[in-house]
Structure 1
Amino acid sequence: MIDKLEFFIVLVREEHFGRAAEECGIAQPSLSAAIRQLEEQLGVQLVVRGSRYQGLTPEGQRVLEWAKRIVGDARTMREEMRAARKGLAGHIRLAVIPTALAMVPRLTEPFQEKHPNVTFSVVSRNSLQVLSQLDDFEIDAGITYLDNEPLGRVTSVPLYSEDYTLVTAEGTPHADRDTVTWAEMANIRLCLLTPDMQNRRIINQHLANAGVSITPMLESNSMVVLLSHVATGRWASIMPRNVAKSFGFTQGLRTIPIVEPEARHMVGLVAPYREPFTPLVSALLHEARGLGLDKTET
């Protein structure tokens, strides 16, 4: 039944039989047959059927909750037995908010030194996608904000406290300042992350608290794109301190602390709230707790 529950989870995520079958590596008729067999085994209809996928029945919604729990436990059991036989090995999938991408090596490098048979894949996602992909087993862990928007049922480990600076090219207005205020952002030609990014929502809230409403001249979901535009001298941006340095954009740029207030938000590692954890996730959480990064970013 485990494989059928896995197929069911993928179908709900993709909301399309053809795409789900492709994701599962089977033919669409095989997927449809597996879902029908699951319904027969459970004695309830799970999927509202028509000419295409139309969602779940109430029973299907409840089975989805059980399916995620059962599949998660089964994967944990398989990984634990593999670790018992061969030691810690495998692959960890991480999703990371754009502003935290540069800090990932501070976690992955010491981890891989201790566990050389573990590999990583790292993708950039917004905070909502991080939580959604955790819930759907698309990733093993994520790095996101911990204290600004609800996280739901996750296990979290603080990594560092993010504060905010005006990033601007040398020779531009404000470039010779020691500090700037949130209220002064109203008169600056800004490029910012897109509104689907929590960093942007945080910035918008601090601007609103200062009585400022802005329309960015450019938006992107890539920190590299923003820094490239700042480097031209025609734009400035609001970014966490040391982001420019972390991405290699240091020459000709200044980072000026934004005050009134000096805002801080915690960034950390999140993993599914599940006991026991898989051996890989358990080791990753242990590594994060030992880093001692839960202070202002330096």
Structure 2
Amino acid sequence: MGRKNGQGLSLSLSAAVAIAAWSFSLAHAQTPSAHPILAHRGVHQTYSRENLGRDDCTATRINPPTHTLIENTLPSLAATVALGADMIEIDVHPTTDGDFAVFHDWTLECRTNGHGVTRYHDMAYLRSLDAGYGYSADEGATFPLRGKGVGLIPNLDEVLTAVPKTRLLINIKSRDPEEGRKLAAYLAARQIGPDRVMVYGHEVPVEAFVKAAGPGFIAFSKKQVADCLKGYVSLGWSGTIPQACHNTLVLVPISHTHLMWGWDRDFAARMATIGSLVLVTGPIPKGANSQLAGLNDPELLKDLPAGVGVWTDAVEQIAPALARRQKK
């Protein structure tokens, strides 16, 4: 890419970020919520979860778009911050040139016009792709975001710079312990501490990250989340809090809150004493696959206890609803 083209792309990205933040802040102006919000994927193209398989391409099953924002991009992050999210979940992959790309999928074919495994490329190649190429709401008849995502795949450094006051939850996508160590070194080189970043993923790279990064970081796996909840259901009545619940995000499905001892009284406060934050997630319907769903229905917020936050896939609906609740 030539210098002039590079400058043009940089200006275009800056303009896109500014426009996204401005438009969303006008449309959804609010005061900060007393309930912390974790925006899973940030503002993104929502999609149907009906009969969704673990490896299905979600870009080809989106709902009719109401905006042009794409997850894991700087414009999306800006819009998410403007809505008032306290935390944003992002996905990372190591690249062949020693960087970390912020992108969801293991491979490139679903969302982009690229090919191959994401981590088998360098950032220059990933930046050249159209991040909106594969999105369709009508089974491939039209592609409304095609051409709108060129150059939008960022690296982790750009994301950290773009949202300096918003905590990030970084999803490690592989099971490789070396990836956890690389991420720890990447953050240490930039003096990024536990106040800026949390980490989750498979237990192997997460444990490697914790050992390399040192104490203080919230870092957890799906297994730890399950162990925490199961242990608390068994022991919470006695005042005992399982070790798996310490210094972590305690993710409680809204359909299972009645099983948590002290939920309506002091559950969140008890978890806070051991360095943990409680977030309620979406309900677990019968026959659901193992994917974690966010709490996306504002009606489910009415009985939310003090101090409990929300893990959501629909920050556009949840953030304004919580703001209205706070004003009452």
Pairwise same-fold verdict (TM > 0.5)? no
Larger RCO (alpha carbons 8 Å, 6+ apart)? 1
Q: Which has the higher strand share?
A: 1
TM-score w.r.t. the length of structure 2 is 0.23
Larger radius of gyration between Structure 1 and Structure 2: 1
Q: Which has the higher helix share?
A: 1
TM-score w.r.t. the length of structure 1 is 0.25
